Amino acid sequence: MKFLFIVAISVLFPTFAWAWGLSEALNHPWGKARLVFSVINGNSINYCLQIADTGLFQDQSISQQIEKALHLWLEPLRELGIHNTIISRVSCDSPLLNLWVKVGPDADFPSLYAYNKEQKNANGAYTYTKVTLNTSYIYKTGSKQYGTIDFIKFANNDLNRQKKEMDLLSLKQMTLAKFSATRNIDWLAVYYSPYKMLIHEFGHSFGLCDAYSAQAIDSCDSKFSSRDQPPSIMRDAKFFYLTGDDIIGIRRLFARYLSPG
């Protein structure tokens, strides 16, 4: 049942969907690897970045995208009294590691574009989670095909511009459709960009489940899930900001584990 451990984007057009939900994995030992626990217990997230496709993807650009995407999920937690969570970059063999981001070809699950999977440390305990962006994945539709494009391409390879751009995307509540229309590019080209994927996958890294199609039944805890169907990062993943549903989800996730009072 390896599939149950994996949460990934594989369905573009959901036939039915759920709203926010907490991952069923949280009920198992491997659920301890999710970021909700590193934030509640240590108010920190230590990530590492491994880029196998150097040349196509810039280290500084991806690391900026990682930090921005993490901040998007942390922001709504202020209401719960969780402030100033420290995000640090560490080496991938650090014992402090909470989150490993790998950007490169993936032989384990070649048919998935992006996925999140809990990992064991050297002592056999689940202490970190790993997000893989499979850069060899190609989505084909008709005569067109789409591979992954680093978000910095949309900012003319300028790191400062990329940072401003990402800040504006959440501030203006930008959808993929609006963004691609203003740039006159195909929205599917934007869909397969690391920044957007990281926002969705980090939802899983924290402890949220997929809210689309059959994935929801497999990956969500029915005791901690809504049956409404609003648009969200965890359902449609067509946004550069958290929708109201995502915000409810991340707050419910933390509220579940924060000790009362």
Q: Which residues bind Zn ion (CB under 5 A)?
A: 7, 210
CB of 153 to Zn ion, least distance (A): 24
How far apart are alpha carbons 163 and 169 in whole angstroms? 10
Q: For residue 10, which of 184, 216, 255 has the smallest C-alpha distance?
A: 216
CA distance 178 to 183: 9
Residues in contact with 153: Cβ distance below 8 Å, sequence separation at least 6, in sequence order: none
Q: How far is CA 176 from CA 18, 34, 172, in A?
A: 21, 27, 12
Closest contact distance (angstroms) between CB of 202 and Zn ion is: 10
Taking the complex as a whole, the smallest distance from the CB of residue 248 to Zn ion amounts, in Å, to 17
Using CB atoms, what's the residue nearest to Zn ion?
210
CA distance linking residue 261 with residue 250, whole number of Å: 19
Nearer to Zn ion, 152 or 200 (CB): 200
Q: Report in angstroms how near the CB of residue 234 gets to Zn ion at its nearest.
A: 7
Query: In angstroms, what is the minimal distance from the CB of 9 to Zn ion?
Result: 5
E strand or H helix at 204? helix 194-206
Of 189 and 209, nearer to Zn ion (C-beta) is 209
Nearer to Zn ion, 77 or 211 (CB): 211
| Closer residue to Zn ion (CB): 210 or 236 | 210
Cα separation, 27 vs 100, in Å, equals: 22
User: CB 114 → Zn ion: shortest distance, Å?
Assistant: 8
Between 14 and 104, name the residue whose CB sits nearer to Zn ion: 14
* Phi-psi group of 198: left, alpha or beta (phi > 0 → left; psi -120 to 50 → alpha; rest → beta): alpha
Q: Which residues touch 207 (CB under 8 Å, ≥6 apart)?
A: 22, 23, 25, 26, 31, 34, 35, 36, 253
210 or 245: CB nearest Zn ion: 210
